[in-house]
């Protein structure tokens, strides 16, 4: 049995408030624990989006009542809150800027609002950006100009990871994350997954893009699931929304890569624990660890997953390595298919917790 720290996922969507038929703080944090994550960072593109105190209160009330693992919540950057967001910085775990097409209404249009957020958000609090292509170049320039750290979400393409590599070489304070689905799937998987279920942002890319991510592993600071569940009915419907569930398959996929010699355990732990803890200034979780059977062979079946969405793009895939036990703050939280901590066990890790 392999003992690892409790994993940290800096990018999940738990759909609460507003879309608890897809996921909520209970089902989402259960999926997290089953997947070996003891802390998750929750995105603000909910209904309503988390852009001010009243909307944040909805999320914090739900999380406090239902979360089974520890959590941080991001504030959403909007055009309207560009000059007021900084006041809320101590009460959240970071600011999320959406510069490109995504699910939900949060979208920052216009250089002025982006510049204002960059200038106003406290330099010692995390600033994260969904920024693809030319938007990525914009964000990197503003990070350099303002000499402030920025974290780039779900990097998926060759030209983007190379741009980040070059920015790092020039001393730009940028960090980045890559999802397991962009490391393990490409557009060639779409016929197997199905067109509606294959919708994700950024989209699945080419084999050359995927190989460029692996070739630039040292540029990747974090593995983040971008767990973004929608129901099967929605994904198989007329206007399929983008997003994959990922909390329960991420570690198995990456341990399989370890088994294949593509990744070391140290490289995995730095990207799923050490780096996210440092980049996001997260507190240590005392007496917390996961125990993993690195040799356990298993096949992914959606009916065995705990996410409410009821499907996975990895259906039927054979993995090697599985979580057996999770201990969170001294309590047995999960063991062999059974969750042992109640809703409300999770704590808010923001500097001023609500």
Residues that bind Zn ion (CB under 5 A): 226
Least distance in angstroms from the C-beta of 96 to Zn ion = 8
Q: What is the largest CA-CA distance in the chain?
A: 52
Cβ proximity to Zn ion, 221 vs 226, nearer residue: 226
Question: What minimum distance in Å lies between the beta carbon of 342 and Zn ion?
Answer: 28
CB of 340 to Zn ion, least distance (A): 29
Question: Please, which residue, 164 or 258, has the CB nearer to Zn ion?
Answer: 164
- Check if the beta carbon of residue 250 is closer than 8 Å to that of residue 223: yes
Q: How far is CA 141 from CA 132, 135, 225, in A?
A: 14, 10, 26
Q: How far is the CB of 178 from Zn ion (least distance, A)?
A: 13
List % helix, strand, coil for the chain (3-state, nearest 5): 35, 20, 45
Q: What is the smallest separation between the CB atom of 76 and Zn ion, expressed in angstroms?
A: 12
Residue 1 C-beta: closest distance to Zn ion, Å? 32
Give the shortest CB-11-to-Zn ion separation in angstroms: 6
Q: How many CA atoms lie within 13 A of 191 on its CB side?
A: 1
Q: In this complex, which beta carbon is closest to Zn ion, that of residue 309 or of residue 328?
A: 309
Q: Provide the Cα torsion 248, 271, 295, 229; round to 10°.
A: 10
- As a three-state string, the secondary structure of 205-222 is CCHHHHHHHHHCHHHCCE
**Alpha-carbon span 75 to 73, nearest angstrom:** 7
- Tell me which DSSP letter residue 227 carries: B
With residue 333 as reference, give the H or E element that holds it: strand 331-335
Q: C-alpha angle 6/23/297, rounded to 5°?
A: 50
Alpha-carbon torsion angle 290, 291, 294, 299, nearest 10: -80
Contact 161, 155 (CB under 8 A): yes
């Amino acid at each position: 049995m392999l003992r690892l720290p409790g994993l940290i996922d800096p990018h999940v969507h738990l759909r609460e408030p507003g879309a608890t038929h897809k996921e909520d703080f209970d089902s989402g944090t259960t999926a997290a624990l089953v997947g070996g994550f003891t802390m998750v960072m929750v995105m603000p593109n909910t209904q309503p989006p988390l852009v001010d105190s009243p909307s944040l209160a909805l999320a914090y009330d739900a999380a406090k009542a239902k979360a089974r693992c520890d959590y941080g919540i991001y504030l959403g950057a909007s055009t309207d809150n560009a000059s007021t967001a900084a006041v809320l910085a101590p009460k959240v775990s970071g600011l999320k800027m959406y510069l490109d097409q995504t699910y939900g209404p949060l979208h920052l249009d216009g250089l002025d609002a982006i510049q204002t957020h960059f200038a106003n958000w406290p330099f010692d609090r995390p600033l994260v950006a969904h920024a693809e292509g030319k938007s990525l170049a914009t964000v990197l320039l503003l990070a350099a100009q303002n000499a402030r750290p920025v974290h780039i979400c779900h990097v998926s393409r060759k030209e983007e990871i190379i741009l980040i590599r070059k920015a790092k070489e020039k001393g730009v304070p940028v960090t980045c994350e890559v999802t397991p689905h962009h490391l393990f799937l490409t557009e060639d998987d779409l016929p197997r997954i199905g067109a509606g279920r294959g919708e994700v942002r950024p989209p699945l890319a080419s084999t050359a893009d995927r190989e460029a991510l692996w070739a630039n592993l040292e540029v990747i600071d974090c593995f983040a699931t971008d767990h973004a569940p929608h129901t099967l009915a929605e994904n198989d419907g007329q206007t399929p929304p983008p997003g994959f569930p990922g909390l329960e398959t991420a570690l198995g996929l990456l341990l399989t890569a370890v088994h294949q010699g593509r990744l070391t355990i140290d490289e995995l732990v730095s990207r799923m624990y050490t780096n996210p803890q440092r980049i996001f200034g997260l507190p240590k979780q005392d007496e917390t660890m996961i125990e993993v059977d690195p040799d356990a062979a298993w096949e992914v079946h959606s009916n065995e997953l705990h996410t409410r969405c009821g499907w996975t793009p990895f259906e039927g895939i054979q993995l090697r390595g599985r979580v057996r036990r999770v201990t969170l703050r001294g309590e047995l939280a999960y063991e062999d298919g059974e969750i042992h901590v109640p809703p409300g066990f999770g704590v808010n890790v923001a500097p001023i917790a609500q």
